[in-house]
Amino acid sequence: MIDPQPLLAVTPGEPAGIGPELLLQVHRYHPEFRVVAVADPELLRRTAERAGMDVVIREWQAGDPLADGELACLPTRLARDVEPGRPDPVNAAYVLDTLRRATALVRDGHAAALVTGPVHKGVINQAGVAFSGHTEFLAALAGTANVVMMLAAPGLRVALVTTHLPLRDVADAVTPERLEQVLRITATDLQQRFGIDRPRIQVLGLNPHAGEGGYLGHEDGEVIAPVIERLRQDGLQLEGPVPADTAFTPPRLAACDAVVAMYHDQGLPVLKHMGFGRSVNITLGLPFIRTSVDHGTALDIAGTGRADASSLYHAIRTAQKLAEAVA
């Protein structure tokens, strides 16, 4: 039985970025969270010392109790020490190893959810590892073929049909099969994880004005609309394809529980404008709970003490709520 205060596994992400400092800030100001950092404990100690934080980092193994006032850390060693703001590709294996070990904690029942800090995709790829993002990496770890990236902020949830693709590749990636998978997964997780009995989903068109009857593109009428109609017959509450330039007006948002966007920069700019620092990245379709921050590694301010831990706080808080709901 999961503790009423679920234990959460947290990966700080890129060691040269702001992730380690953010985790220490959250631990300092919100000791009510039961978290285990999956990281190099010496990295956390050096980060705390640099920031002038009096934080006790205690090495922890699965099954150990947590000690009040201390940050538990499942030790995972860096390949080489880092300086804030200066990522080193040699540590890419460390970043991926923290994700593997944290995922194992959750899948083995030692933690109730996974919370991830920001990673640097470019640095990982420089190390020779093909890496397009947390979402895809965790899906492969879980052996799950289809997952969905969704960001949630107060008043808005946006799920994505495609994620980290060049814009020129998006139209080919919006297939009937992929769209149906995203809509079904989104509807299922809104029901099962968020307790929405009959989720109302607004589906955006791909092209300006949702294709303008075919004059501005054929994907909306030939791909998106038929999938929506077929799934409506299966009982899904879907509206669309809706032109993206009017989809985020207050009346439309009030009439839906989530928006499904065709590509990353179609839906996320609006969400981050509404709730940057309070929005949370949630992976739908995984066999476990995973949340993350809504920002990157911020190498330019790493080690300066200027990083804002709001998004990590909300990611941890959201993971806790989701874990409590299924406990």
pLDDT digits (tens, 9 = 90+) for 124-166: 999 999 888 898 899 999 999 899 999 999 999 999 999 989 9
Which residue in this structure is represented by tokens 């920031």? Answer: 51
Q: Which two tokens stand for residue 204?
A: 């955006």
pLDDT digits (tens, 9 = 90+) for 220-262: 999 999 999 999 999 999 999 999 999 999 999 999 999 999 9
For 283-303, letters b (16+ CB in 10 Å) and e give bbbbebbbbbbbbebbbebbb
pLDDT at position 4: 59
Instruction: Say if CB 314 and CB 117 are below 8 A apart.
Output: no
Task: Give percent helix, percent strand, percent coil of the chain, each to the nearest 5.
Answer: 45, 20, 40
Instruction: Say if CB 149 and CB 155 are below 8 A apart.
Output: no
Question: What is the enclosing helix (H) or strand (E) of 289?
Answer: none
CA distance 233 to 187: 14
Residue spans of the domains in the chain: they are: 1-144+286-327, 146-285
Assess if CATH 3.40.50.2000 describes domain 1-144+286-327: no
pLDDT at position 1: 41
The stretches in the chain having pLDDT less than 50 are 1-3
CA distance 244 to 261: 8
Tell me which CATH homologous superfamily contains domain 146-285. Answer: Isopropylmalate Dehydrogenase (3.40.718.10)
pLDDT at position 5: 86
**At residue 202, what are phi and psi to the nearest 5 degrees?**
-95, 120
Whether 146-285 and 1-144+286-327 are alike in CATH topology: the answer is yes
Instruction: Say if CB 205 and CB 211 are below 8 A apart.
Output: yes
Q: What is the pTM of this model?
A: 0.92
Q: Is 321 exposed, middle or buried (0-12, 13-18, 19+ CB in 10 A)?
A: middle
Q: How far is CA 237 from the centre of its chain?
A: 25
